[in-house]
């Protein structure tokens, strides 16, 4: 019994040591750090920039504007990495996309957030893969405002929209975070983790926000593009409550511009029931080449505590999906020449 108690106390102390402190910049610490690499699936991806990723059954889905075919959605085999289908071309007609920023899968439905005008569209994946004529459903429109870009996450009974900062705080501006339900808006959130208005404008006006909504829609994680200021929210009882703000990487802005030592903190974020996963950058951004090195896969719980860190040697990565039962992590990989691949890693 005493031995069990000692083990529990040691585990609690270790978790406390891994918990970041609020208000100061300190990279997260992890209970477990290891060196591993992905197994490459298939051939090089003939895409330019991938804006969002998702998984469905035995398929991986990538959002990327193919300059040759103008298709936006590209589907690959989760098992082999082989290309299967490209669809949803650029345009304004039914089954076309104007300016997509996010994709997400829930059940058998693919959700595409199109920014011009800002709408959430949905498509049935079985029909898409069967190459049947496309039909789309508009689930909601975002209030028109002078905020330039919006990103959305969906859960069974809600849509959560994150927007860039408005240059004019007028009465019609879109809120920073908007939670809508089947009957319309539920709650909004407009505060920022900084008081310096110039810094707020620099970090939140045009930069791409990294965020993810938990599968049940009750939790939201949001991180800045520059540096890494991570906010954890709870969405319940008709309220959006920020439970923690974690200051991991100083954005290091000088006169409104990134300093020579500035770097990105995290990549896009994947949310699970138990926490969230992201790729963490461990090197300074090379401004001459425009490349980042997000060469650490980082696992966190919903308290923001670092659970596991996997150091990669040959590639940078963005997580796509994680099967907690199988212990399988799938990711988008790229090398020093920005050549992209799909990768798989078995975690135990």
For the chain, the domains span 17-48+145-346
Statement: residue 242 has pLDDT above 80: yes
Statement: residue 115 has pLDDT above 80: no
Q: Is 84 helix (H, G, I), strand (E, B) or coil?
A: strand
More reliable by pLDDT, 285 or 251: 251
Torsion of CA 141, 64, 312, 308, to 10 degrees: 20
Instruction: Output the CA torsion sign for 281, 283, 286, 289.
Output: negative
Of the chain, the percentage scoring pLDDT greater than 90 comes to 40
117 upstream amide cis, omega within 30 of 0 = yes
Pairing of strands 306-311, 30-35: parallel
Q: Is 10 helix (H, G, I), strand (E, B) or coil?
A: helix
Over range 157-173, report the average pLDDT: 71
Over range 169-198, report the average pLDDT: 82
Kindly indicate the confidence band of residue 238, based on its pLDDT and cuts at 50, 70 and 90. very high
pLDDT of residue 147: 53
Statement: residue 19 has pLDDT above 70: no
CB 85 within 8 A of CB 132: no
Statement: residue 144 has pLDDT above 50: no
CB-side exposure of 190: number of CA atoms within 13 Å?
10
211 upstream amide cis, omega within 30 of 0 = no
Highest mean pLDDT among 86-95, 147-156, 159-168: 86-95
Kindly indicate the confidence band of residue 260, based on its pLDDT and cuts at 50, 70 and 90. low
Distances from the Cα of 39 to the Cαs of 43, 77, 293, 328, in angstroms? Answer: 12, 14, 18, 11
Query: Which residue's entry shows tokens 């959006």?
Result: 240
- pLDDT tens-digit map of 38-82: 999 999 998 888 888 999 999 999 999 876 778 899 999 999 999
Mean pLDDT of the chain: 81
Statement: residue 166 has pLDDT above 70: no
- What does 172-234 look like in DSSP terms, one character per residue? TPPPSEEEEETTEEEEEE---S---HHHHHHHHSSSPPEEEE-TTSSEEEEE-SBBEEEEEEE
Neighbours of 35 (CB within 10 A): 9
More reliable by pLDDT, 260 or 310: 310
Highest mean pLDDT among 254-258, 262-266, 334-338: 334-338
Over range 238-251, report the average pLDDT: 91
CA nearest 47: which of 330, 344, 339, 268? 339
pLDDT of residue 120: 81
Q: Report angle CA 208, 294, 73 to the nearest 5 degrees.
A: 55
Statement: residue 278 has pLDDT above 90: yes
Over range 206-227, report the average pLDDT: 87
- Please state which CATH number belongs to domain 17-48+145-346: 2.130.10
pLDDT of residue 98: 82
């Amino acid at each position: 019994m005493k031995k069990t108690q000692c083990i529990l106390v040691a585990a609690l102390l270790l978790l406390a040591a891994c918990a970041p402190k609020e208000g100061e910049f300190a990279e997260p610490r992890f209970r477990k750090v290891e060196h591993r690499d992905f197994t490459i699936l298939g051939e090089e991806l003939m895409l330019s920039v991938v804006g969002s990723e998702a998984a469905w059954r035995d398929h991986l889905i990538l959002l990327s504007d193919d300059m040759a075919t103008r298709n936006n959605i590209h589907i690959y085999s989760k098992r082999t990495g082989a290309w299967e289908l490209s669809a949803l071309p650029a345009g304004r007609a039914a089954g076309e996309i104007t300016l997509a920023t996010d994709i997400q899968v829930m059940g058998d439905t693919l959700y595409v957030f199109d920014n011009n005008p800002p709408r959430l569209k949905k498509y049935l994946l079985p029909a898409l893969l069967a190459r049947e004529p496309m039909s789309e459903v508009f689930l909601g429109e975002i209030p028109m405002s002078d905020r330039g870009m919006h990103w959305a996450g969906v859960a069974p009974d809600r849509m959560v929209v994150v927007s860039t900062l408005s240059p004019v705080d007028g009465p019609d501006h879109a809120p920073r975070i908007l939670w809508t339900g089947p009957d319309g808006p539920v709650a909004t959130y407009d505060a920022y983790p900084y008081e310096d208005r110039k810094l707020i404008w620099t970090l939140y006006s045009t930069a791409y926000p990294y965020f993810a909504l938990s599968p049940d829609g009750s939790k939201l994680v949001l991180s800045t593009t520059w540096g890494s200021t991570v906010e954890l929210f709870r969405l319940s009882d008709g309220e959006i409550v920020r439970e923690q703000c974690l200051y991991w990487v100083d954005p290091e802005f000088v006169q409104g511009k990134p300093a020579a030592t500035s770097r990105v903190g995290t990549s896009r974020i994947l949310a699970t029931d138990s926490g969230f996963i992201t790729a963490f950058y461990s090197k300074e951004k090379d401004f001459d080449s425009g490349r980042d090195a997000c060469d650490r896969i980082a696992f966190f719980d919903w308290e923001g505590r670092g659970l596991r860190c996997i150091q990669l040697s040959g590639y940078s990565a963005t997580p796509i999906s994680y099967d907690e039962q199988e212990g399988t992590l799938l990711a988008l990989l790229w090398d020093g020449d920005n050549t992209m691949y799909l990768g798989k890693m078995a975690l135990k």
